[in-house]
A and B are shown apart, each in its own frame.
Chain A
């Protein structure tokens, strides 16, 4: 009997406790407390079997200024377990903003600025007017520091780079929130394509998540980037399945050939024709075709100045002739003996003993 009485008492006590803690709230001020719309992601834990019609009031106050905002939702049905607010519920909510600068900024941008906040959530029974009993109330305190902007660093915007497997860097999103990670997307930007379109229409070349540091090596298994093409990239900061911040879209171009040798496809004309004609124009290089009826041999040739006969041209590259027709390309551009616009004469001694003379004007290649 005694045991029974104690048991009954316990049950009554527990029942009472249960009644007081009928409703609980799950809220993460470090992410959800940053914006007005973030507040609405609170999860409400209900316990009444079969559900219960309730009204939620969210009140945010900041330490130095007082009331910032208060939101009262229309009635909704709270089911047992953890409930997200029903979609679309908030379009009918009442909103009251405080009369201070923090509230003004929040009203205009939807963001809470730096302050010490108290977020209070209150669930009351709906349908009982103003004197409705409060079923649960919970407050969260948080010293809020707004996120820094998410700024990209390298490759710089609109830069031309040589590396076909560049490493990407950006500035971290601060203050650090536990569990925060980054995503990076890289796509090709086709000529004439809008940036916003390139990142949606084109197949991403990199689409990486779970990045914990503000940098990413070019994935070794991915195909390298192509010379001459333009690319666009963007970084997103997220936590779990929540989007926190998005960077700007930056572009860069892979342009490496600029500094390496770039020869246009000029034809090789026969030395016999050239020798007959007038001055040949040598744009950095001498090009001609020659027939060699003998076996492989080195071509013996000299170049002398016409404009300035005193100039002595040395260090000319060695040229090997093979049997048959040969396309000869003699690079003159790095030889100091050649001056832009000066006249020169090339003398060739072919293996068959024949001699050819070619007069030419040297033109520096424009860059």
Chain B
């Protein structure tokens, strides 16, 4: 328990430090603030809007009634709310109207509905056309491929693949259906591979587009944001009216003093009332010509009878003005409203097409049911045979049959899923029946936090996995029953223009059924979640990854470091490392408008072998590459690299593998013998030691193509020789020439001759043909055939078959 607490504390501290570093870099007004800045909450804008609604309802210009709807308009509004949002909502609206002092929430709600009503185009029947377009089906396309390959090492000598894509819309929810069926002969068994894969995924983009169309069809969004109302004019109008009323009041009180009244009424304009502060207003009152008011007396609390009549009038007027001023300043300061109008307008205009504002408008304006509302917050939803997990999280590169979804609402993220992983079904594992690892797990995962997973975020995730005895084909029919639990904290921080840093801590724990440790006699089956902090340092995985660019230098860089304990195991991340320390650097810089580009890459990895000693596998890989664009149509590139692996232990170092290579290549396009041509040559030297075999290989690769009228002639050649004669894999020559042409205007064909010689293994010569055509509009058919005659063949030949075909039929609707 203690260790649990301390570890939690550690994770929280890391979160806190990372959060503290995240800069506030949002320049745009966030939606919440935008809503507050909208004139909706300012009473002065409601006036013109209500007037407009009243005008529309009564069919004639109506005199300003103050902020109240005419009975006719109110009936229309109620009918609108009822039709769109139902009885319950109508009651709420009526209650809101009934309450004079509505709370801010009701006020905002009422305001949204009222603005929606204001923005409604004519008498549009929204529910009507929401229903009309609720169901549809669009066939997206289909493709079929068939192939044969008789190379000895081909995992699938023959196979077919059929794919279908279809878009279905149910209740206005678009769903993408995708099926792929790969079936074929495996090298051992005719019916070995029969992989039917299918998935259903929710099409978020289409959904938002579809709903947004409804919004635009039914509502005038410019009106919804009251952009047709001139805020400045409305505001001035409002101030004018108030000022007029104040003057009327004054005139009633001082009816006999004609001259004084003139002086008072010409004292300040509505503009001054808006822009001057209370002190400036006071100064104006002090300076009323012919009044000669003393400041001390004006501000005193003495009764009117004690003061001079003029002073008393002035004081009364000043108090009225101050009162007015405070009304105008309420909510949003008056000046601010005017100043922000342009800002708000701009951000609305900019935001009207952004996804966020589309979603907001849909939510506020359309009558949605629970599911439709939930889907607005969904990022992705899919079920079937699916890939799950994203970069930076407990789940990575997982393929499973199950369901998963992610949601993002107000910057709060959630991902959850459940499914079964079974590696035995993979194409690459055809024919394999055994494995040293458990290959099937049933698992559930959840990830929660702030921010989208692809941007700056801080998330907490968990994975719960149980090894599974599959009834069908499995790589390992016998595994020990175990429960693995993984907890992850991941954080991504944006450094603005300098890039991003991603940090991740993950902890795993495994528990077996009927197990005991050490001197315990009782066999127990614990849930791994409850003992998560067992063997802490051996089952933790920590990673830091930085990527960034320096634009002024045309430089991009990445650096990473990660550690994972020897006991770490995460079934939801099949490729996760164990017992390793990895670090690396990747730099790429360009000069002179990318005429020169240089890249450097270093990846180092130490993998521990022993729980007791320091023995480990030590890997390193370095590459430097450079490209120079000598001319627009001529470039040279070079690559120098080395990768080495060594086994290091207390007793001895064991050399394992060395691969060093240098290559130089050129690309040139231009004219040769007045024919347009392009040419690509690569020459490389490679040292490859897999002890005890040491090889030094020379590789040459030439590709040349000429354009002759509308036809193309290609010649390519690859030659590889082991200079040391070890023939690790060397002494291969392949040559090929092809002629591309069009027959009958529609058939695009390429015919070629091939030759291959792998010394003492195989020698072949043959022909190659491909035909492609559009049989019908959108229906493409492609045929490929490679046929060779074996001049020499031996049993060592696993790679070079002499008959390979491929037929592809594609039918696409977009």
Contacts and interface: CB of A to CB of B under 8 A. Distances in A.
Interface of A: 31-32, 34-38, 40-41, 64-65, 71, 84-85, 87-99, 101-105, 107-111, 113-115, 145-146, 148-149, 151, 153-154, 156, 162-165, 169, 171-172, 174-175, 183, 185, 194-197, 199-204, 207-211, 213-217, 219-223, 234, 236, 238, 240-244, 246, 248-249, 256, 259-261, 284, 333-334, 365-367
B538 A201 contact: no
B535 A37 contact: no
A176 B297 CA distance: 104
B156 A87 contact: no
Contacts of A260: 633, 667, 669, 678
A95 B617 contact: no
Contacts of A41: 434, 476, 478
6 contacts: A71-B480, A105-B567, A156-B623, A207-B427, A209-B155, A240-B434
Contacts of B476: 37, 40-41
A107 B432 CA distance: 26
A105 B566 contact: yes
A289 B151 CA distance: 54
A114 B605 contact: no
B657 A261 contact: no
Interface string B424-438: 011111011111111
A57 to B, nearest CB: 14
A89 B476 CA distance: 12
Contact of A169 (B635, B659, B728, B799): B659
Contacts of A89: 478
Contacts of A96: 515-517, 523
Interface stretch (B216-224, B361-369, B568-576): B568-576
A199 B510 contact: no
A40 B476 CA distance: 9
A204 B510 CA distance: 35
Contacts of A95: 480, 512-516, 523
Interface in B291-339: none
Given A148-B645, A149-B577, A216-B799, A185 B151 contact: no
A96 B524 CA distance: 10
Contacts of A223: 784, 806
The 7 closest A-B pairs by CB, nearest first: A108-B567, A99-B518, A194-B387, A114-B610, A196-B387, A221-B804, A210-B153
Interface string B176-190: 001010100001000
Nearest to B396: A196
Nearest to B566: A105
Given A41-B434, A153-B621, A90 B387 contact: no
A92 B481 CA distance: 8
Contacts of A114: 609-613, 615, 649
Given A199-B426, A246-B574, A145 B659 contact: no
Nearest to A38: B436
A97 B517 contact: yes
Contacts of A90: 478-481
A236 B426 CA distance: 12
Contacts of A196: 387, 397-399
A37 B629 contact: no
Contacts of B435: 37, 242-243
A185 B428 contact: yes
A10 B623 CA distance: 72
B480 A37 contact: yes
Given A151-B605, A243-B475, 6 more contacts: A64-B612, A95-B512, A108-B568, A200-B427, A221-B801, A243-B435
Contact of B635 (A85, A91, A211, A259): A259
B513 A91 contact: yes
Given A149-B580, A204-B427, A213-B690, A97 B516 contact: yes
Given A37-B436, A109-B568, A221 B632 contact: no
Interface in B606-626: 607-613, 615, 617, 619, 621, 623
B702 to A, nearest CB: 11
Contact of B434 (A111, A156, A241): A241
B345 interface: no
B151 A219 contact: yes
Nearest to A148: B617
Contact of B149 (A34, A214, A221): A221
A95 B467 CA distance: 15
A174 B656 contact: yes
Interface of B: 145, 147, 149, 151-156, 159, 161, 163, 178, 180, 182, 187, 195, 197, 385-387, 397-399, 423, 425-429, 431-439, 469, 475-482, 508-510, 512-519, 523, 534-535, 538-539, 566-569, 574-575, 577-578, 580, 593-595, 601, 605, 607-613, 615, 617, 619, 621, 623, 627, 629, 631-633, 635, 637, 641, 643, 645, 647, 649, 656-657, 659, 665, 667, 669, 678, 680, 682, 688, 690, 701, 703, 718, 720, 728-729, 732, 734, 736, 754, 756, 784, 786, 788, 798-804, 806
Contacts of B478: 37, 40-41, 84-85, 87-90
A165 B514 contact: no
Contacts of A109: 510, 566-569, 578
Contact of A174 (B178, B629, B647, B802): B647
Contacts of A217: 720, 729, 732, 799
A108 B569 contact: yes
Given A109-B567, A196-B397, A98 B669 contact: no
Contacts of A259: 627, 629, 635, 667
A203 B518 contact: no
Contacts of A185: 155, 427-428
Given A149-B580, A163-B701, A223-B806, A105 B517 contact: no
A220 B619 contact: no
Contacts of A215: 688, 729
Contacts of B803: 221
Contacts of B633: 260-261, 334
Nearest to B732: A217
Nearest to B398: A196
Contacts of A98: 517-518
A365 B594 CA distance: 12
A244 B432 CA distance: 10
A195 B396 CA distance: 10
Most buried by A among B187, B512, B678, B703: B512
Given A85-B478, A93-B514, A105-B567, A65 B612 contact: yes
Most buried by A among B152, B180, B439, B611: B611
Given A145-B647, A241-B432, A107 B397 contact: no
B657 A211 contact: no
A154 B641 contact: yes
Contact of B798 (A210, A234, A238, A240): A210
Contacts of B641: 154
A110 B484 CA distance: 11
A229 to B, nearest CB: 15
Contacts of B637: 162
A149 B718 contact: no
Contacts of B534: 108
A269 to B, nearest CB: 23
Contacts of B161: 203
Contact of B690 (A148, A149, A197, A214): A214
Given A145-B609, A195-B387, A211-B798, A220 B754 contact: yes
A64 B610 CA distance: 12
Contacts of B617: 148-149, 174
Given A102-B612, A200-B385, A259-B627, A162 B399 contact: no
B479 A37 contact: yes
Contacts of B756: 220
Contacts of B475: 243
Contacts of B594: 367
Contact of B657 (A38, A172, A195): A172
Contacts of A101: 611-612
